[in-house]
Structure 1
Amino acid sequence: MTSSKTDARPRGVVGVLAFAGIVAALTQTLVVPLLGDLPRLFDTSASNASWVVTATLLSAAVATPVAGRLGDMYGKRRMLLLSLAPLVVGSVVCALSSSVVPMIVGRGLQGLGMGVVPLGISLLRDVLPADRLGASIALISASMGVGGALGLPFSAAVAENASWRVLFWVVAALAAVVGVLVRLRVPAGRTAPHAGRFDVPGAVGLGGALVCLLLAVSKGSDWGWTSGTTLGLFAASAAAVLLWGWWELRTAEPLVDLRVTARPLVLMTNAASVLVGFAMYAQSLVVPQLLQLPEATGYGLGQSMLAMGLWMAPAGLMMMVLAPLGAKLTAARGPKITLGVGSLVIALGYASALPLMGSTVGLLVVTLVCNTGVGLAYGAMPALIMGAVPRSETASANSFNTLMRSIGSSVSAAVTGVVLAQMTTDFAGHLLPSEGAFRAALLIGSGVALAASVVAFLIPAGPAAESEGAGEAEASPHVPSGAPA
């Protein structure tokens, strides 16, 4: 490895990578205010318009682990720049779209850029001194919350007062600026001494399994959970996973090293990540609906889309504010404690929603508490992963962990959607989710968060990655045993 650690300016590097995370998260929430208008804007059905969201989900799921592996092989900064290119191009395609097909293509291209956050976090291990690593990981992890928090009010304000195309032009410009800053301010980091061959069959197999799984999860409510299409996709996903695992265990240079992933520390961290992803996303589905439903329902708060975004924005900013606290807790007690505590805080936030869901201020408190827990948990997971894998697999392992969170979020969307769709009430001739449905969804979120905390506290202690020698453990920011950094 070169002298990039000593040459890097930590604040500048972290600032650029955090900015990249904010732009990536902004892209994900960009179309939320447009969803109701897309069928009219593009003269298409609501079912076709929903692919504007689904396309990003699918392409991001496939691209993230691939980008991570390529980052380990050929350089993380190089893959950061390559990931930003489709984000810029996709945003331009969306801005110029006059029908739904180009919009879906553009959103798919945007999804290819979602690997920038795990790549950025992994790059920190190469270019920052160990004493700056914990706080920097927490800060970049929190940037996703900031981008999501700013995205809703920004998108709603633009959609209400200007052309929706402005949203995509702004994101294209921001992503281009990020690319320039990465090129100028971020060191190249470390590459594998012998890059070897990229595991194309492994990438195709994992991609096929993910597309089948996430397509069934995201579209199951539209197609019917017991329909032949949905059940066939679930079966195809299971078969593809088995074949992919068989191949990965037998190839010399796998896309994902399943032997490392099967280590108890890594395996349980990824399991906790699925649960945290589920718990995080449930409240982001419930709270906006409660804020926007008519007051006449007796439990809705009658807020506009813009007002809803403004009420939820402080929660995302809270993740950034509390990032240093999470880093201090990790340094003092270890990342698994931070992950467990964060999951407990999420559960507490859901529990507090039951008596507070009748007011805007109450829901603000709920989102603040939940996102405090999310910030703690999201900062701890990369630290656990990087303390347990060889340096040569940092980006791949982090990207796989990010994928686990995304799967948890997708399952959360499906489960919460089923609950809200099945427990309804009639309001002026329209079926709306009942108050009991929202309470049930909140209780499910709380239970899943509690399960995540149990898994986190059961994560075993163990030595840092041994395959690259003692110096590797010294370079790791957090020893998984829980000892202070």
Structure 2
Amino acid sequence: MSTAAVSPARTVAPVRPGRRSIGALGILALALGTLQSVVEPALPLLQRELGVGPAEGALVANALLITGAVLAPVAGKLGDRYGGKRVLLWLMAAVSAGGLLAGLAPNLPVLLLGQVLQGVMVGALPLSFILVRRHLTAGESQAAIGVVLALFTGGGIIGMSVAGPIAHGLSWQWIFVLPTIVIVAATMAVARLMPPDPPAPSGDPVDWPGVALLSATLLALMLALVAVPGGGLPPLAVGAIVLVVAALAAGWVIVERRAATPMVDLRMLARPAMRSSIVLTFLMSIAFGMVVILLPQMFAVSADGYGFGLSTTDIGLLLLPGAIAGAVSDSVGGIAARRFGPRAVVVAGIGVTAVTMVALAVLHDAAWQLAVAKVLTAFAAGAGTTALLASTASAVATRDTGITTSLLVVTRLFGTIVGAQVGGTILAAGTGPASGAPSEAAFATGFVVAGLASALSLVAVRATRKRVTA
């Protein structure tokens, strides 16, 4: 692009996207959601095909999220600076490469590498929020952000539906290849139809040291969350990991405080409302992450005992209503936050999740009970975290939309990953050497822990409300 394309003369009002460009962006969001969701119903099948257990299965599910957590704030900041569309197209190239690599994976390491590259798709969320804020008014953006999340989550409906038939009719590799083909086509349509959003008018240099340190800190923390709960590391190694994470985080804070144009304005993080949103998003996502791991595993356990012995197709069909509920909740969350306030939506979501998980620890002898639990927890988590995200995004300056929303997206991923790893660790600890399957008590323990984590959020709501009021 020529220098004139980013000259100060660009002062005209932003062009609103037309129906065709919005349609292309919607198809892209649906395809990304599909690619992200195919692993959940196929997780027991992938474990059998690759010869791995629940802990490694959780790693397969989390590899995508790890990359997303590392990249999301970087993508949001670069989108703020250089334009959301331009950065989005580059990210989609990496996602496409990851999807094709996973489709060709002969073993677990190659599949994990493909999942890592696919995790770049998480950066599409803050970039979409940038486009929304630059093309819509502040009032319209709250509902629009919910719709963007709903399109991304709505792809999970397709993924849950097609993962089983594709895996059994073709092979498990095709559950990655087919959505990737759609992503490539949709990306080409977005590149052609979506009007470009002008870069932020700033001559300040990018805070690359801050970008590098934040990425390294998040990567080290995510790897620690994956490795430490497994219990296979000696205490010295665990202590070394903690020191590395602490050193990187401290270095990032020092760099940001001294930078003339920091990647993240630490004063923004110091605001009580922002801190409250981060804490609540994290705690609410833990329970949902545990549900993502526990339910498919219980569906797949042999029907000779307490399980149901279901196939990938059957698991996908039972999880499908939950995917629909998650898509609906993402769009409802932003609207509900405007009408009732984010706190009311959050409290309602926490209450529903806590009660559902405790009840599931006792009542899990029918498949429909697990399916209903998935619906309730997906709707509660989606509405609550989206309400927090939408209200926070609309409260900050437009130039900070990308970095603010990406930090909350990262927090949502952190909570989900922590919950998934805790759930996988509980199941692995409760797996008998003779049966090779987790015990019923292990699942009940996981459900109780998820309920307690959700209930802890109520304490955080009360504490953060007092700080915000003060």
TM-score (norm 1): 0.84
Residue 411 of structure 1 pairs with residue 418 of structure 2: yes
For residues 48 and 438 of structure 2, the distance between their equivalents in structure 1, rounded to whole angstroms, comes to 25
Query: What percent identity do the matched residue pairs reach?
Result: 26
Alpha carbons 1:73, 1:195 under 8 Å: kept: no
Residue 440 of structure 1 pairs with residue 449 of structure 2: no
Shift of 1:46: 10
Residue 449 of structure 1 pairs with residue 459 of structure 2: no
For residues 150 and 194 of structure 2, the distance between their equivalents in structure 1, rounded to whole angstroms, comes to 19
Distance change >3 Å, CA 358–CA 393, structure 1 → 2: same
Aligned to 2:4: none
1:333 to 340, 365, 379: 340
Q: How does 1:393-404 map to 2 (within 5 A)?
A: 393-404=400-411
Distance change >3 Å, CA 18–CA 373, structure 1 → 2: farther
Q: How does 1:50-449 map to 2 (within 5 A)?
A: 55-98=63-106, 102-222=110-230, 224-297=232-305, 299-323=306-330, 325-424=332-431, 429-449=434-454
Distance change >3 Å, CA 267–CA 19, structure 1 → 2: farther
Shift of 1:306: 1.5
Shift of 1:88: 1.3
| Equivalent AA in structure 2 for residue 346 of structure 1 | T
Q: Which runs of 4+ in 1 moved over 6 A?
A: 36-51
Shift of 1:402: 0.8
| RMSD of Structure 2 on Structure 1 (CA) | 3.2
For residues 331 and 210 of structure 2, the distance between their equivalents in structure 1, rounded to whole angstroms, comes to 38
Shift of 1:392: 0.8
For residues 40 and 336 of structure 1, the distance between their equivalents in structure 2, rounded to whole angstroms, comes to 43
For residues 148 and 195 of structure 1, the distance between their equivalents in structure 2, rounded to whole angstroms, comes to 40
How many residues in Structure 1 have an aligned counterpart in Structure 2? 459
Shift of 1:191: 2.9
Shift of 1:175: 1.3
Distance change >3 Å, CA 138–CA 459, structure 1 → 2: farther
For residues 401 and 447 of structure 2, the distance between their equivalents in structure 1, rounded to whole angstroms, comes to 35
For residues 393 and 328 of structure 1, the distance between their equivalents in structure 2, rounded to whole angstroms, comes to 22
For residues 39 and 418 of structure 1, the distance between their equivalents in structure 2, rounded to whole angstroms, comes to 15
| Equivalent AA in structure 1 for residue 252 of structure 2 | W
Alpha carbons 1:293, 1:301 under 8 Å: kept: yes
For residues 447 and 355 of structure 1, the distance between their equivalents in structure 2, rounded to whole angstroms, comes to 15
Unpaired runs of 5+ in structure 1? Answer: 463-479
For residues 368 and 252 of structure 2, the distance between their equivalents in structure 1, rounded to whole angstroms, comes to 48
For residues 91 and 217 of structure 1, the distance between their equivalents in structure 2, rounded to whole angstroms, comes to 24
Shift of 1:307: 0.5
Mean Cα deviation higher: 140-149 or 198-207: 140-149
Unpaired runs of 5+ in structure 2? Answer: 1-10
Mean Cα deviation higher: 120-129 or 224-233: 224-233
For residues 447 and 456 of structure 1, the distance between their equivalents in structure 2, rounded to whole angstroms, comes to 15
For residues 75 and 166 of structure 1, the distance between their equivalents in structure 2, rounded to whole angstroms, comes to 33
Q: What are the superposed Cα offsets for residues 61-103 of structure 1, whole Å, 9 maximum, x if unpaired? A: 2211110110010111221112111111222333344566554
| Equivalent AA in structure 2 for residue 443 of structure 1 | V
Alpha carbons 2:79, 2:130 under 8 Å: kept: no
Q: Which has the higher contact order (CA 8 A, sep 6+)?
A: 2
Shift of 1:48: 8.9
Alpha carbons 1:25, 1:144 under 8 Å: kept: yes
Distance change >3 Å, CA 8–CA 244, structure 1 → 2: same
Alpha carbons 1:8, 1:128 under 8 Å: kept: no
For residues 50 and 371 of structure 1, the distance between their equivalents in structure 2, rounded to whole angstroms, comes to 18
Aligned to 2:14: 4
Distance change >3 Å, CA 128–CA 147, structure 1 → 2: same
- SS class of match (1:3): coil
Shift of 1:138: 1.7
Mean Cα deviation higher: 36-45 or 256-265: 36-45
